Amino acid sequence: MPREIPESHPLHRMFRGLTEATFLSELGIGDPKLVGYVAGLLARFVPAENLWRLHDRHGRRLTEVTAMIAEAEASADDERRRDCHRHVGDFTLFWTGVYPEALARLRGSDSPDHLIDFQQQGKRSYYLASTCGGDEAPVLRRLSDEFELCAFGLSCVRREWERLEPPDRGPTLRLLGL
């Protein structure tokens, strides 16, 4: 069961404030649902185990995007398929936007992910998740359509939170385990 940071937690509020301000000033995006989703994504991934929360039907943790996609496509359950595709979108958006320097390690030559484009898979997965219905479908479709812009926005959010932290690895990065 993934751990969650409550919306009332100061870290969640910090992500919300930074995301709202940055997306509006840098990107001209003021859509509260989109901004709220992206800020929520940052808070969801503070407990690092949430990055790796998907497991296959045998209980094995899925650590590669290719395996996450295979799990989604093998599922006969629409909710599970949507959840897996949404997670792939979130996972790829997080890494491409917040920590692009980690992509080389994630996509090492010994990994099946070496052969895929995280941005394209993120866009595709958000699109597929949006076609499964649910309250988040419009936001997921927008994330698919504007994946690169949102990844850039997340890089700006990171820049802003790093300005708030001391140079010796601030508390946010320690919480993220980086």
Give the tokens for residue 46: 């503070």
Counted domains in the chain? 1
In a domain, 2, yes or no: no
Cα separation, 114 vs 27, whole angstroms: 30
Q: What is the pTM of this model?
A: 0.89
Length of the chain: 178
Per-residue confidence in pLDDT tens, the chain, 178 aa: 568 888 999 999 999 999 999 999 999 999 999 999 999 999 999 998 999 999 998 999 999 999 999 999 999 999 999 999 999 999 999 999 999 998 888 777 777 888 899 999 999 999 999 999 889 999 999 999 999 999 999 999 999 999 987 666 655 555 554 4
Ramachandran category for residue 28: left, alpha or beta (phi over 0 → left; psi -120 to 50 → alpha)? left
Cα separation, 160 vs 165, whole angstroms: 9
In a domain, 4, yes or no: no
Closest CA relative to residue 89, chosen from 69, 113, 116: 69
Residue 160's Cβ-count burial label (10 Å; 0-12, 13-18, 19+) is middle
Give the domain extent around 134. Answer: 10-176
